[in-house]
Chains A and B, each alone.
Chain A
Amino acid sequence: MAGHAGVAARPPLRLALFGLPPALVEPVAMLAEILGWVVFEAPPGPAMLPPADLCLAMLPADAGAPLPPIAVWSPDKHLNEHISSHGLSILEQPPCIQHLEQLLQISADWP
């Protein structure tokens, strides 16, 4: 939706997904898009991406763990401490939609 008249439109927030499996990319991307984020996908490992406000990537799996957790960090907005204070720097796997929405809202809150 367009912003209100007289209010400068904020540039869309950018979410980068590193190597998430397709089954996980779809709901994460949909949730982010509903909240107004632009989503970029990238293969796992080091990659050059456009500037991103938030990154999600799968951690290497621990022995015995069915699925690795998801690491979260904010390269451009320096939100890491803020996100960690909410207990969202590492998301459980499979992630809870409520936690993801909370993460995206917290990240969008940051000026």
Chain B
Amino acid sequence: MMDAGQDAGFSQGFGSSDFGQAGPIPVVRIAPARPPDDTRINNLHGPGGPDPDGVVPDGMVPHGIVVEAIGAGRSGLDLLALQALAGQMRSGQFGVDPGGSEQAMTIARQVADMAQGLAALADRLVGQGSAVPAETIEVAEGDCVAFLESQFRIRRLRARHLPALSLGEPAWDILLDLAVAQYWRRETSVTSLCIAADVPSTTALRWINSMTREGLIVRRPCQRDGRRSFLAIAPETYQAMLAMAADSLRTEQRVRARYQRAA
């Protein structure tokens, strides 16, 4: 088992420092139809520190940015069209051979990923413009308890499918991030993995180091430049995550069905 969760020593004294501090989540504000300066950002600290002008270069969409929309309902985004585009790319239309190369599949997934991101933004815009806040939508008590019981059971499934993983939340967050990155063929840096772990960077590094030694995470050369390296989930760990997810989905369906019968 890993020992990366022992935070008492180093991270308490050092975790409060700026080492690896992710800082506040950068926010992009998308202005209404005719913004005076629609490319200005707040709190986006790049490697060179905060940009005094806060201007995003043309065509750049920094990774990991939370998009905050202003003027909901006026974006003109066509959610259905975006979802259709994502579906078409997945199914191999637009000239992508369904049984074709890995590269074609990677491109299709990345386009679908972008479409999903835009769809999520559109959802948020619609939600902000809605008269009924999402929090007020009624959910049956049985469904809530079914969800809670499912979560409890899913935690047990983690230990069954990933016995080498201690139940520390940072490790789990790291694996979730890497599993999603694996599906979308994203390259994950140590820095972004530390942010995903949502703990002080030193603690995150300790977890990443231990998980690498355990073989849960592997170092992989950059696809564009083989001399650089990124982190990825180990193939067997990815398969275990998929098996666990499938078990979890089945468990959740069974639990929900039981509560619905009892209602």
- Residues on A facing B (Cβ under 8 Å): 1, 23-24, 26-27, 30-31, 33-36, 87, 92, 94-99, 101-102, 105, 108-109, 111
A94 cross-chain contacts in B, Cβ below 8 A: 14, 17-19
Q: Which of B13, B17, B48 has the most CB of A within 10 A?
A: B17
User: Contact between B209 and A23 (Cβ–Cβ < 8 Å)?
Assistant: no
Q: Is the contact region of chain A dominated by helix, strand, or loop, or is it mixed?
A: helix
User: Contact between B13 and A34 (Cβ–Cβ < 8 Å)?
Assistant: no
User: Contact between B228 and A109 (Cβ–Cβ < 8 Å)?
Assistant: yes
Choose one: A1, A23, A87, A97; the contact of B10 (CB below 8 Å): A23
User: Contact between B209 and A33 (Cβ–Cβ < 8 Å)?
Assistant: yes
B190 cross-chain contacts in A, Cβ below 8 A: 31, 34-35, 97, 101
Chain B residue with Cβ nearest A23: B14
Interface residue B133 (Cβ < 8 Å from any Cβ of A)? no
Chain B 189-236 residues near chain A, CB threshold 8 A = 189-191, 194, 201-202, 205-206, 208-209, 212, 218-220, 225, 227-229, 231
Apart from the given pairs A26-B10, A35-B219, A96-B21, 13 other A-B contacts in the complex at a CB distance below 8 Å: A1-B219, A1-B220, A23-B14, A24-B14, A27-B10, A30-B202, A31-B205, A34-B205, A34-B208, A34-B231, A36-B229, A96-B20, A98-B20
User: Contact between A36 and B219 (Cβ–Cβ < 8 Å)?
Assistant: yes
Contacts A94-B19, A99-B47: A34 and B209 contacting too (C-beta < 8 A)?
yes
CA distance A111 to B226 in the complex (A): 11
- Residues on B facing A (Cβ under 8 Å): 10, 13-14, 17-21, 47-48, 189-191, 194, 201-202, 205-206, 208-209, 212, 218-220, 225, 227-229, 231
User: Contact between B229 and A108 (Cβ–Cβ < 8 Å)?
Assistant: yes
Q: Is the contact region of chain B dominated by helix, strand, or loop, or is it mixed?
A: mixed
CA distance A24 to B14 in the complex (A): 8
User: Contact between A105 and B228 (Cβ–Cβ < 8 Å)?
Assistant: yes
Chain B residue with Cβ nearest A105: B228
User: Contact between A35 and B229 (Cβ–Cβ < 8 Å)?
Assistant: yes
User: Contact between A87 and B48 (Cβ–Cβ < 8 Å)?
Assistant: yes
User: Contact between B189 and A101 (Cβ–Cβ < 8 Å)?
Assistant: yes
User: Contact between A97 and B231 (Cβ–Cβ < 8 Å)?
Assistant: no
User: Contact between A26 and B202 (Cβ–Cβ < 8 Å)?
Assistant: yes
CA distance A1 to B228 in the complex (A): 14
B225 cross-chain contacts in A, Cβ below 8 A: 109
Choose one: A31, A97, A98, A108; the contact of B227 (CB below 8 Å): A108
User: Contact between A101 and B229 (Cβ–Cβ < 8 Å)?
Assistant: no
User: Contact between A30 and B209 (Cβ–Cβ < 8 Å)?
Assistant: yes
CB distance from A8 to the nearest CB of B (A): 12
CA distance A1 to B219 in the complex (A): 7
CB distance from B128 to the nearest CB of A (A): 32
User: Contact between A27 and B201 (Cβ–Cβ < 8 Å)?
Assistant: yes
Choose one: A26, A27, A34, A102; the contact of B219 (CB below 8 Å): A34
